[in-house]
Amino acid sequence: MMIESLKYMPQPKEANATLAEHFTDLAPALNARQAAIESSRCLYCYDAPCTRICPSDIDVASFIRNIHDENINGAAVGILKQNILGGSCSRVCPTEILCEDACVRNHDAEGQPVKIGLLQRYAIDNMTITEHPFKRAASTGKKIAVVGAGPAGLSCAHRLAMLGNDVVIFEAKEKSGGLNEYGIAKYKLTDNFAQKEVDFLLQIGGIEIKHGQTLGGNVQLKDLHAQYDAVFLGLGLGASKQLGLTGEDAPGLLAAVDYIAALRQADDLSKLPLPARVIVIGAGNTAIDMAVQIQRLGAEEVTLVYRRGFDAMSATEHEQHIAKENQVRMRTWAQPQQVLLDDAGRVRGMRFEKTAVVNGRLAGTGETFEIAADAIFKAIGQGMDEKSISDPLAKTLKRDGDKIHVDDQFRTVLPRIYAGGDCVAPGQDLTVQAVQHGKLAAHAIHQDINGMKEAA
């Protein structure tokens, strides 16, 4: 367990059953009547702005019209054709800055976009398809290795299998799903949804998943390159960035993603270590997920600290609102300066320096303050796990900063090696975008290795 450094902490006071109630669905699903009313609000725009902005090219107006016409299966298949992880995306996608923000209903007297995310979820959750909706094409005789069973890798594998190729996925962890399984707040993906979605995706056939397979560990890129017709790297960003302060390895200080993963995998929430006072450093969705969840577990005081202002946070206004509703305190314009330790060398708080923008750049003001805390969680972003691209062949991959460089067909500089998702350069680190990368990369791989132009 990665949360060893907290094992000296007390545990939640409430029983598991009570705690579990704090992690039920954040947004209740629509019932049939609500879905009918909501779908009738859609104007089915020609050249609909919601469809244009969707990172995975879902024909939004079309699936909503299907719901309105009570063709739920038609709506679901329309979504899944573009986004095979449409169920989880309907729950975790920041629709408030994408399709719902673009909805023309946003700009009339109503000022209320059509609830596209909830309608998408309604279609997927209520479809009555007994078998997998997509059939495999005739076998190409080609075999592709996919590294990583996260959204990008799963999407790529599914589309490759659909096109008639065989796929082997190499996944380091014991479960598939990537961040959907290990990294999303428990109240966003409830009821083991990530695993059910993986099981559904695998029904296409032709995909084998091998677990406990770590690139740069027991799997080497040069071997995959030699043994398979192509390789797709959907590595994600597995390493938490460092604050660069002394005491960073002290008990009580750890990456937020490690605690979130432990919480998501816990059979009994009452057995988790629970610090009374918590500092979360960061301003993205992971920081908010961490702060809200530890508050819901029963922490007495949770403070989220960010070095800039609210408007610069990468967490959407919707996410910030969730944090405020859950009594998370938010301190802006402050950066970590020193980890404060007690006599036993454990975290007792943090010293921060106030910040300001000076001549267009963020700078410390010299004024400091301290916040007492039993645990500090850093959510300052994820980087490439260098171990995974440490073998001699992987080292020759061209990088853009921390990420792997790919062309517009998701090809790396190495022949027959492709990459997509959070580990490549042009990215918003969204699940829906990772799914799109995987799907588009699969088409490119299929065309390149089968040497033919495929009918789109």
Domains of the chain: 2-18+240-381 (3.50.50.60), 41-126 (1.10.1060.10), 143-238+384-450 (3.50.50.60)
If DSSP codes are grouped into helix, strand and coil, which group holds residue 234?
coil
Angle at 256 between CA 198 and CA 99, to 5 degrees: 55
Instruction: Tell me how far apart the alpha carbons of residues 234 and 425 are, in angstroms, rounded to a whole number.
Output: 12
Residue type, 437: H
- Within a 10 A sphere around the Cβ of 139, how many other Cβ atoms? 10
**Nearest to residue 399, comparing CAs of 420, 416, 413, 380?**
413
pLDDT of residue 90: 95
Residue 429, pLDDT > 90, answer no
Percent pLDDT > 90 in the chain is 87
pLDDT of residue 427: 62
Assign 1 a pLDDT band (cuts: 50, 70, 90). Answer: very low
Tokens encoding 223: 């071997």
pLDDT of residue 455: 44
Instruction: Tell me how far apart the alpha carbons of residues 51 and 56 are, in angstroms, rounded to a whole number.
Output: 9
Strand partners, 6: none
pLDDT of residue 2: 56
Least confident window among 173-177, 273-277, 422-426, 441-445: 422-426
pLDDT in tens, 135-190: 999 999 999 999 999 999 999 999 999 999 999 999 999 999 999 999 999 999 99
pLDDT in tens, 252-281: 999 999 999 999 999 999 999 999 999 999
Q: What is the mean pLDDT of the chain?
A: 94
pLDDT in tens, 375-401: 999 999 888 888 888 888 988 999 988
Least confident window among 209-213, 215-219, 332-336: 215-219
pLDDT of residue 109: 80
Assign 350 a pLDDT band (cuts: 50, 70, 90). Answer: very high
Rg, the chain, Cα only:
23
Query: Is-contact 234 160, C-beta < 8 A?
Result: no
Angle at 398 between CA 173 and CA 315, to 5 degrees: 55
**Nearest to residue 238, comparing CAs of 403, 391, 400, 399?**
403
Assign 426 a pLDDT band (cuts: 50, 70, 90). Answer: low
Residue 284, pLDDT > 60, answer yes
pLDDT of residue 131: 87
**Nearest to residue 254, comparing CAs of 176, 319, 346, 355?**
346
Instruction: Tell me how far apart the alpha carbons of residues 419 and 268 are, in angstroms, rounded to a whole number.
Output: 37
Angle at 202 between CA 154 and CA 56, to 5 degrees: 40
Tokens encoding 63: 């699936």
pLDDT in tens, 33-44: 999 999 999 999
Residue 234, pLDDT > 90, answer yes
Residue 453, pLDDT > 90, answer no
Region 284-288: what's the mean pLDDT? 94
Strand partners, 361: 358
pLDDT of residue 239: 86
